[in-house]
Amino acid sequence: MPGIRLIVGLGNPGLEYEDTRHNAGFWWVERIAAARKAMFNAEKKFHGLTTRAHLDGHETWLLKPQTFMNRSGQAVGALAGFYKITPEEILVVHDELDLAPGDARLKKGGGHGGHNGLKDIIAHLGTPDFWRLRIGIGHPGDKNQVADYVLHPARREEQELIESAVDKSLPLLPQILAGDFPAAMLKLHTKAAK
């Protein structure tokens, strides 16, 4: 199985969105970049902030689209196309309404579940067959409140749980990069069940 050459963190640009639930993907890639002292640079042709990092022996791109969530595919498609990165070599890290705060799940393919960032990436790549790391943010309980919910910061106790999901998924990076997804999933999903 091919390893991951591009990790995309989904979120919205700008200070007003920085701490909102929808930006969980940004937080994840920012943590990786900070740990490796990698600096993000604005790349106009990729519609985002990018950095190339040597992660556990792998040359990997990190991308934070700056197009706003519903146009994330523009950035992903541009970078993947330029560097000939296949959908199977892409990991998209995003907030997930259908998982409780504190949960994280890894999967390949599937639908977009109403997530506008995923919807646009699927449209630009022409396939849903990329990897996703889903960071649970919980659901407001009413679908009419979803837009407002994802664009607001989590309550303190929820935020701590979301951060703990980020913490417990970050150590899986070596397996994810090497393409050892069964081992990464076993580790993540077994821990999450405890």
Report, as residue numbers or ranges, the catalytic residues.
22
Which candidate, 21, 67, 98, 113, places its Cα nearest to that of 8? 67
* Beta bridge partner(s), residue 153: 20
Is position 83 annotated in a ligand binding site? no
Sign of the Cα torsion 79, 30, 36, 167 reads negative
Is position 70 annotated in a ligand binding site? yes
Q: Mutual orientation of helices 156-169 and 24-35 as an angle, nearest 10°?
A: 50
Sign of the Cα torsion 5, 8, 14, 15 reads negative
Three-class secondary structure of residue 59 per DSSP: strand
Is position 144 annotated in a ligand binding site? no
Is position 23 annotated in a ligand binding site? no
Phi, psi of 5 (to 5 degrees): -110, -15
**CA pair distance 194, 192, nearest whole angstrom:** 6
Q: From the annotation, which residues make up the binding site?
A: 17, 68, 70, 116
Q: From the annotation, which residues make up the binding site for tRNA?
A: 17, 68, 70, 116
